[in-house]
Amino acid sequence: MIHVNQTGYLPEMRKLIPVSEPGRYRICQADGICCKEIDAKDAGIDEAAGERVYLLDLTSIQQPGVYRIEDPQANSKEITIAPDVLNQLHWDLMKMFYYQRCGCGLKEEHAGCFAHDVCHNRPAKLWENPEITLDVTGGWHDAGDFGRYVTAAATAIGHLLYAYRLFPECFEESLEIPESGNDLPDILNECRCELEWMLKMQRADGGVYHKVTTLRHADFVMPQEDQDDLFVFPVSSMAVGDFCAVTALASKIYRKYDAAFANRLQTASEKSWEWLKENPEFQGFRNPEGCNTGEYDDTTDLDERLWAAAEMTRMTQGKKGMKELKELYEACPTKTELGWADVSGFAGLCVLTDWKGYTGVEMAEKFRHDFVKRAKSLAAQSQKSGYGVSLKPEEFGWGSNMNVLNNGIVLVMAYLFTGDKAFEEAAFCQLDYILGCNPLDMSYVTGHGSGAFRNPHNRPTVADGIDDPISGFVSGGPNGKPCDPDALRLIPEGTAPMKCFADAWECYSLNEITIYWNSPMVFLTAYATRKFYREEVENG
Ligand code: 9MR
Ligand code: ZN
């Protein structure tokens, strides 16, 4: 077996191809002429995959083109090398958010055959007092379900806005969405939909409701057919912290384009900041009896408060938040996490991209140290793995692909600070893994790669009667502890964690899609394509 990144490789990047057989391999060009012979090197046992892996290093092949890799028995696989090979992927990953839009309906001119009528546009009942109804329409459906959750939203917006902040040149292309052609880059148009919804989730006292969903997950129907009552569930301190952070970040980014919107974001952020100060105790979230939609429960809010303090300090140019930032930095045990449960790494991204230095040199030094230290251990893990993955066997849980991609972001950041190529190479290995370089030959992005998964646990995809899924959805990926009935049936006990996957739509603990599984990949494809887009900008 030859396992490749099925989308393709950038010419100058490291190209490590895992194979399952030792021996001499031939690399042939499109015309069939063999351009290289190479011996596979033993890379040892990959523990998470539970098998021995050999590696072919094709880094020296840099000439753009299509190449065939042939094993000693003449079985073969093709790879593409080109400077723009990831561009369409990057675009599709970003367009995904438009397909998740709620409360507006998708028009054929923007969604093609995936158009659908307006959904979830009725008032929602306040869980604590159903007599009261609220307008909380808009935003994105979280995932394969139709719920909308503040902490999940903030995580996705965090990835996207930091991708934009660092690599703006990669977001100039039109996404063909309703707002395209106005003065805003489309990534900001798209994020604004979510931010406008988030603003509606804030209470007058600055508290922020945790989520709005029906009581039970809908059947596998189109969103407009989900007619159950919507409920707005109680405030959690994670939601308030994340909201405070993300509105502060957004106010900074949108100010250049739309001062009125930036001011609304800033006011909302400061209101939530006050709430956080008045409510220092942790207010978690548990589903009430009878509710089975996403819980996004947590055991601490120190990381959310840390992120809020960092963004508050930057937004107010040091007038608010600095004292708390220093205290919370000491209190929060993690510093580099970028997932919905732990957002400490976004505080790091804030401080590390605070070019004006409002958050202070000392903080920047500390986070830089944390990111580099973490990146060293991720790069070491990635080198140890035959498939280049940075996860330890026990880290393949629900949504493992998010961890893989978030690790890629930490590695990119560490490369940007240190210039140490090993970090960049490891970051690209995470992309290769997601795009098919894994023992299942599975591309975990719909529509990208000959082995792309096709059956996401996504209600519209199952209900729309269209054969192909929408391109550009990232799967949650292998889960060493699968916990839905169909996954338990399909995955034999004892299966190696990296192989605990099935492309079956029923398997929500393996094969769902979410906004915060796409968003870290947008960050990575932005990083990967930045050179191409930068040159394009420079050459007019
Ligand atoms: O992504 C979440 C994963 O990390 C958790 O282990 C899992 C169980 O709590 O929940 C996942 O989030 C789901 C959310 O609760 C509802 N929308 C779909 C999400 C993806 O499966
Ligand atoms: Zn909807």
Rounded average pLDDT over 357-364: 97
pLDDT for 30: 82
Among candidate residues 511, 520, 523, 238, the one with its CA nearest the CA of residue 399: 511
Rounded average pLDDT over 230-257: 98
Eight-class DSSP state of 461: H
CA 383, CA 385: separation in Å to the nearest integer? 5
**pLDDT tens profile 245-296:** 999 999 999 999 999 999 999 999 999 999 999 999 999 999 999 999 999 9
Taking the CA of residue 147 as reference, the ligand 1 atom at the shortest distance is 17
C-alpha atoms less than 13 angstroms from C-alpha of 349 in its C-beta half-sphere? 30
From the CB of 512, is ligand 1 less than 6 Å away? yes
Tokens of 333: 């045990």
Collapse the DSSP code of 233 into the 3-class scheme (helix H, G, I; strand E, B; otherwise coil) and give the result: coil
Taking the CA of residue 509 as reference, the ligand 1 atom at the shortest distance is 21
From the CB of 142, is ligand 1 less than 6 Å away? yes
H or E stretch at 23: none
Eight-class DSSP state of 230: P
Collapse the DSSP code of 202 into the 3-class scheme (helix H, G, I; strand E, B; otherwise coil) and give the result: strand
Tokens of 49: 């995959």
pLDDT for 278: 98
Q: Strands (DSSP E) along 175-243, which ranges? A: 211-213, 231-232
- Ligand 2 centroid to 236 CA: how many Å? 23
Query: Catalytic residue at 512?
Result: yes
Find residue 140's DSSP bridge partners.
101
- Ligand 2 centroid to 223 CA: how many Å? 5
**pLDDT tens profile 305-332:** 999 999 999 999 999 999 999 999 999 9
From the CB of 143, is ligand 1 less than 6 Å away? yes
Taking the CA of residue 293 as reference, the ligand 1 atom at the shortest distance is 16
Residue type at 92 in one-letter notation: D
Taking the CA of residue 295 as reference, the ligand 1 atom at the shortest distance is 15
- Ligand 1 centroid to 374 CA: how many Å? 25
CA 44, CA 52: separation in Å to the nearest integer? 5
CA 66, CA 95: separation in Å to the nearest integer? 27
From the CB of 480, is ligand 1 less than 6 Å away? no
**pLDDT tens profile 167-207:** 999 999 999 999 999 999 999 999 999 999 999 999 999 99
Q: Tokens 């959805």 identify what position?
A: 473
Neighbours of 259 (CB within 10 A): 11
From the CB of 136, is ligand 1 less than 6 Å away? no
From the CB of 482, is ligand 1 less than 6 Å away? no
Is the CATH number 3.40.640.10 carried by domain 87-333? no
From the CB of 399, is ligand 1 less than 6 Å away? yes
CA 100, CA 114: separation in Å to the nearest integer? 11
H or E stretch at 171: none
Collapse the DSSP code of 464 into the 3-class scheme (helix H, G, I; strand E, B; otherwise coil) and give the result: coil
pLDDT for 536: 86
From the CB of 311, is ligand 1 less than 6 Å away? no
Q: Tokens 């605070």 identify what position?
A: 354
Collapse the DSSP code of 70 into the 3-class scheme (helix H, G, I; strand E, B; otherwise coil) and give the result: strand
Q: How confident is the model at residue 539 (pLDDT cuts 50, 70, 90)?
A: confident
- Ligand 1 centroid to 64 CA: how many Å? 40
The domain limits of the chain are 87-333
**Active-site residue identified among 226, 298, 342, 512:** 512
Quick one: which ligand is closest to 104's CA? 2
Q: How confident is the model at residue 29 (pLDDT cuts 50, 70, 90)?
A: very high
Taking the CA of residue 339 as reference, the ligand 1 atom at the shortest distance is 4
**pLDDT tens profile 99-154:** 999 999 999 999 999 999 999 999 999 999 999 999 999 999 999 999 999 999 99
Query: Catalytic residue at 145?
Result: yes
pTM over 0.95: yes
- Ligand 2 centroid to 338 CA: how many Å? 26
Q: Among 102, 145, 236, which residue has the most ligand 1 atoms within 8 Å of its CB, making it the best to mutate?
A: 145
Quick one: which ligand is closest to 124's CA? 2
Res 540 pLDDT > 90: no
Query: Catalytic residue at 21?
Result: no
**Active-site residue identified among 116, 270, 457, 486:** 457
Query: Catalytic residue at 448?
Result: no
Q: How confident is the model at residue 349 (pLDDT cuts 50, 70, 90)?
A: very high
Residues 6+ apart with CB under 8 A from 41: 54, 55, 56, 57
Collapse the DSSP code of 515 into the 3-class scheme (helix H, G, I; strand E, B; otherwise coil) and give the result: helix
CA 355, CA 364: separation in Å to the nearest integer? 10
> Residue 453 in contact with residue 504, Cβ under 8 Å?
no
- Ligand 1 centroid to 63 CA: how many Å? 42
Taking the CA of residue 517 as reference, the ligand 1 atom at the shortest distance is 1
CA 489, CA 143: separation in Å to the nearest integer? 23
Taking the CA of residue 296 as reference, the ligand 1 atom at the shortest distance is 15
Q: Whose CA is nearest to atom 6 of ligand 1?
A: 398
CA 278, CA 72: separation in Å to the nearest integer? 69
CA 514, CA 152: separation in Å to the nearest integer? 9
Find residue 247's DSSP bridge partners.
none
Quick one: which ligand is closest to 100's CA? 2
CA 230, CA 138: separation in Å to the nearest integer? 13
**pLDDT tens profile 411-466:** 999 999 999 999 999 999 999 999 999 999 999 999 999 999 999 999 999 999 99
Quick one: which ligand is closest to 155's CA? 1
pLDDT for 31: 85
Buried-state track 391-422, b at ≥16 Cβ within 10 A, e below 16:
bebebbbbbbbbbbbbbbbbbbbbbebbebeb
> Residue 155 in contact with residue 242, Cβ under 8 Å?
yes
pLDDT for 103: 98
Phi, psi for residue 28 in degrees, rounded to 5: -120, 145
From the CB of 477, is ligand 1 less than 6 Å away? no
Res 339 pLDDT > 80: yes
pLDDT for 537: 83
Among candidate residues 197, 170, 209, the one with its CA nearest the CA of residue 186: 170
**Active-site residue identified among 145, 301, 337, 370:** 145
Average pLDDT of the chain, as a whole number? 98
Quick one: which ligand is closest to 152's CA? 1
Given phi > 0 = left and psi -120 to 50 = alpha, else beta, which region is 467?
Answer: alpha
The C-alpha torsion from 100 through 105 and 110 to 113, rounded to 10°, is 90
